[in-house]
Amino acid sequence: MGLSRRTVLRGTAAATALASLDVPAHAAPTPARPFELAEATVVDLQAAMKAGELTAQGLAERYLARIADWDSRGRLPLRSVIELNPDALATAAALDQERREKGPRGPLHGIPVLLKDNIATADQMQTTAGSLALVGARPSRDAFIVERLRAAGAVILGKTNLSEWANFRSTRSASGWSARGGQTRNPYALDRTPSGSSSGAGAATAANFCAVSVGTETDGSIVSPAAASALVGLKPTVGLVSRSGIIPISHSQDTAGPMTRTVADAAALLSVLAGVDPSDGATGASRGKAHADYTRFLDVDGLKGARIGVPRERFFGYHPATDALVEEALALMKSRGAILVDPAPIPAVAQVDAPELEVLLYEFKAGLEAYLATLEEGTAPRTLAELIRYNEAHAPSELPYFGQELFHMAQAKGPLTDKAYLKALQACRRLSRAQGLDAVMKKHQLDALVAPTQAPVGLIDPINGDHWLGSSSTPAAVSGYASITVPAGFVYGLPVGLSFIGGAWSEPVLLKLAHAYEHASKHRRPPTFAETADLRVHAGAGSPPAKP
């Protein structure tokens, strides 16, 4: 990496003063300004700390300085980080002392991590899902996955912005916007959406504001922003990673997961996040199926002999340039020994959308009110109805661009004993599993399916909302199975992702396949913070990044 103690600690004095993004410590940078830690992996950073070239405190300081330089400056600020952790540097210093005295705890010792702002931390930071209604309503304990990160020695740098309420408030929202954090932008073209709902985590990780980040997904909220920022995004099997302490949408589909710049980093982070939590009954199913070290499944020759299905119906055909990149990816996989089953349609996939929404509406109301009940009395709304009234009373701040149609729809739903809910839940499980992913994978004896994650992202439009052409997130989301997206190239400088979709507990297989493809293709490259995409360049895997 060319790291040296001098270059890493150059920004120490200025960065130490950072307590919030309101007090940036550095002058606005130029695009040519280098960043010593650009694209550094967890393995790189651990090697540098082991060699004495870097400390956890120095590492945290450099990332904090990077955030100050790039996140809130310029005509179009990125706004990916909603809040910094005032305890980060003290935590890093303590971990440095521990390393000197006892050695590292593991691969994440001293590694800076950013968390999506719907993941609870019982510290000086807020946990708000981007809503002003939850400012000041601090949870009584860390989310289970935060406890695991702290125990592993990770340094929580701060919280990332998100699509407010994880993009489950309006039917025409602009991804990446929250009342508390403003509009997150895409670092590859600042007038483009970062996608959502883990918008800030995606943009910040792509921009090298942290080593790795943690996002959450109900349907696409990890893989979509990851694809939009040329990242690896892993949506685990529901139950592999605890959801306790995470502001919910759906207990059937919600999960947290890694957002990283490499598959190896995703594997290292998943090794820490995965674990049985008595407070989340779904994690009990992971006993005997979870692994302590997912990095051991990484194999650069992992495509050889793998049977990979191509579900063209519904998941191809909505964007020719995206399809062209995926055809290149398929040819590359075949050249590396993969056996392609093409086509391999997913049965019943078009029938899932209506029951999925019904399930989400019911589960959102029940889950959110259960979460709100855990907060201190009087610090936040206690029911969805109270939250709706809060938004109406604070409309200039909370409802300036779009409304809360999904909130109203969810409020109209009854309890989880309603026949309508139970019928929809049964349909989702049948259509997505037995008649969906399980059926196609069994029929063709597949290791995984592969499809475009989505088309290149559109322009930010707070008035009309997001414009989407298609995506492949729903089968894994509704079934609760695993998927991973990896960079597949660029269209006019805008990233495009490729998704590997597997069955339940298929993370080892997906990591192996994704790592092998990543190693063979090498499509990841950092953003340039261009104001807009350069439409003069030729679309395709070899197209240069957007110009600043």
Query: On the CB side of 152, how many CA atoms lie within 13 Å of its CA?
Result: 25
**Which tokens go with 473?**
């997130």
Beta-strand pair 112-116/212-217: parallel
Rg (CA), the chain: 22
Angle at 200 between CA 199 and CA 202, to 5 degrees: 70
Which residues have a catalytic role annotated? 116, 197, 221
CA 39 – CA 26 distance, rounded (Å): 21
Check if the beta carbon of residue 201 is closer than 8 Å to that of residue 161. no
At 76, give phi and psi (nearest 5°): -125, 85
Check if the beta carbon of residue 460 is closer than 8 Å to that of residue 174. yes
Strand extents, DSSP E, 25-126 = 81-84, 112-116
**Which tokens go with 227?**
């694809």
CA 43 – CA 369 distance, rounded (Å): 41
CA 157 – CA 85 distance, rounded (Å): 5
Check if the beta carbon of residue 142 is closer than 8 Å to that of residue 120. yes
CA 257 – CA 237 distance, rounded (Å): 10
CA 80 – CA 537 distance, rounded (Å): 27
Angle at 285 between CA 283 and CA 291, to 5 degrees: 80
Q: Which residues pair with 84 in a beta bridge?
A: 158
Q: Give the contacts of 94 (CB within 8 A, at least 6 positions apart).
A: none
314 burial (CB, 10 Å; 0-12 / 13-18 / 19+) is middle
Return contacts of 464-469, CB within 8 angstroms, 24+ apart: 464/172, 465/170, 465/171, 465/172, 465/173, 465/174, 465/402, 466/172, 466/173, 466/174, 466/175, 466/193, 466/196, 469/318, 469/319
464 burial (CB, 10 Å; 0-12 / 13-18 / 19+) is exposed
Q: Give the contacts of 359 (CB within 8 A, at least 6 positions apart).
A: 250, 252, 253, 421, 424, 425, 428
What are the residue ranges of helices labelled H in 274-415? Answer: 312-315, 320-335, 353-372, 384-393, 395-398, 405-411
**Which tokens go with 214?**
């943690």
